[in-house]
Amino acid sequence: MLFSKIEALGRVKLEELQLERLRNTVDYAYKNVPFYRKLFDERGLRPEDIKTLKDITKIPFTTKDDLRGAYPYGMFAVPLRKVVRIHASSGTTGKPTVVGYTRKDIETWAELVARIAFMAGVREEDIAQIAFSYGLFTGAFGLHYGLEKIGATVIPISSGNTERQIRIMKDFGSTVLVSTPSYALYMAEIADEMGIKSSELKLRLGLFGAEGSTKEMKREIERRFNIVATENYGLSEIIGPGVSGECHVKEGLHIAEDHFLVEIIDPDTGENLDYGEKGELVITTLTKEAMPLLRYRTRDITSLNPEPCKCGRTFVRMSPVQGRTDDMLIIRGVNVYPSQIESVLMGIKGIGPHYEIIVTKKGYLDELTVNVELADPEMLEKHRLLEELKETVRSKLKSVLQIDVNVRLVEPKSLARFEGKAKRVKDLRKQS
């Protein structure tokens, strides 16, 4: 079942629609956003030069730095009085990225989130607990409006106060949990501590996003809560959540292609890559009013699959994000993605799902240390087993990453827990 018929639109019709919307957007951005007018004029490019979808490559990329440079409202295409909502992504360094929505953008957003939630299996009967933090972050408000549009009952509990989350989950009979995957895992741990079993909860479905999670991590959440875990993806700059999400087939995340035109590029050269090839996702908004973006570089690494899906949807699917171009670590010249480390760790018995990656420099040499929690506190006493386990982790990591890694097995529940996006990497090289 589809939330909207358009999700099964044939490719020919879809591309016609995309082209019409692309041409309108380019013209609109040129006329209303000084940043784009300058970008086009400097290159002698005119909106009329975009005649086919492929012509999009004539347009230069927009980057996060461009948005920072326009802080706070410089990328808006409408006067502020037409903007009914502001969100911002915090970012770890520098100024936040500010985004605005017109009334129509808010309606589009609700429709797109309703689609991804419906696609994941949410229905009118569901009670959805939103454990994303409400505020400038787009996660909570985005899911909130989309779930209400389906007709589900929304519990806007926000993130944090985890014992209360579990009590409410039990007492209110929540059937759907909306959070980051790392927070879901933390909640499962607290439920355990409170002596509440998954059989006492009505939870049946998880809508997880805002950060990556490996298949293994999702399986662990499914096991702990006895639910089906689905993933969805989005970013504030483009709209927030609602860009893509998994259907029940769970072989990739369908992108709302009637609203977003996507490309995959080689992050080093900027060249377009083919379907199936892994690279950086670039998105052009096709219907945004307040802040249209042309060829926005997301920094997220994924690949696209255009095959029609068993669920009946025709929209391309992106593979789960493997990492960001800016969270790839270069350790002694070797590229390492934190997700590779997580996959390895989650496949080893005896260690828990909580870990920390620390990068330091010893002289000129990069050092990678992985701290990982033991699942069973009694292991701490068993020195020989401990050594064996450590060696297993070390050699498995080495075989996947091709570099030596220091491994520290630490006490259960001794590493940080997260109520929002997890921060598992500490790169201390930059500080020295």
Applying CB under 6 A, the residues found at the interface with ligand DLL are 89, 137-139, 209-212, 231-236, 240-241, 298, 300, 321, 324
Q: Name the residue nearer to ligand DLL (CB basis): 165 or 405.
A: 165
Q: How far is the CB of 406 from ligand DLL (least distance, A)?
A: 27
Chain center to CA of 13: 29
Q: Name the residue nearer to ligand DLL (CB basis): 3 or 183.
A: 183
Beta carbons within 8 Å of 158's beta carbon, 6+ residues apart: 130, 131, 132, 133, 134, 140
3-state secondary structure 219-253: HHHHHHHCCEEEEEEEECCCCEEEEEEECCCCCCE
Q: Name the residue nearer to ligand DLL (CB basis): 139 or 279.
A: 139
Q: How far is the CB of 233 from ligand DLL (least distance, A)?
A: 4
DSSP 260-306: EEEEEE-TTT--B--TT--EEEEEEESS-SSS--SSEEEEEEE-EE-
Instruction: Compute the distance between CA of residue 109 and CA of residue 168 in angstroms, rounded to an integer.
Output: 27
The pair of structure tokens assigned to 206 is: 């998880």
Query: Which residue sits closest to ligand DLL, CB atoms considered?
Result: 209
β-bridge mates for residue 360, sequence order:
367
DSSP 10-37: -HHHHHHHHHHHHHHHHHHHHHH-HHHH
Q: Name the residue nearer to ligand DLL (CB basis): 320 or 352.
A: 320
Q: How far is the CB of 337 from ligand DLL (least distance, A)?
A: 11
Q: How far is the CB of 243 from ligand DLL (least distance, A)?
A: 7
Q: How far is the CB of 299 from ligand DLL (least distance, A)?
A: 6
Secondary structure of residue 215 in the 3-state scheme: helix
Q: How far is the CB of 229 from ligand DLL (least distance, A)?
A: 11
Q: Name the residue nearer to ligand DLL (CB basis): 141 or 355.
A: 141
Q: Name the residue nearer to ligand DLL (CB basis): 229 or 286.
A: 229
Secondary structure of residue 178 in the 3-state scheme: strand
Is the bond preceding residue 72 a cis peptide, omega within 30 degrees? Answer: yes
DSSP 306-359: -SPPTTS--S-EEPPP-EETTT-EEETTEEE-HHHHHHHHHTSTTEEEEEEEEE
Instruction: Compute the distance between CA of residue 324 and CA of residue 340 in angstroms, rounded to an integer.
Output: 13
Instruction: Compute the distance between CA of residue 242 and CA of residue 160 in angstroms, rounded to an integer.
Output: 23
Secondary structure of residue 153 in the 3-state scheme: strand
Q: How far is the CB of 376 from ligand DLL (least distance, A)?
A: 30
Q: How far is the CB of 386 from ligand DLL (least distance, A)?
A: 33
Secondary structure of residue 107 in the 3-state scheme: helix
Q: How far is the CB of 87 from ligand DLL (least distance, A)?
A: 8
Q: Name the residue nearer to ligand DLL (CB basis): 210 or 256.
A: 210
Q: Name the residue nearer to ligand DLL (CB basis): 342 or 366.
A: 342
Q: Name the residue nearer to ligand DLL (CB basis): 26 or 227.
A: 227
Other CB atoms within 10 A of residue 321 CB: 20
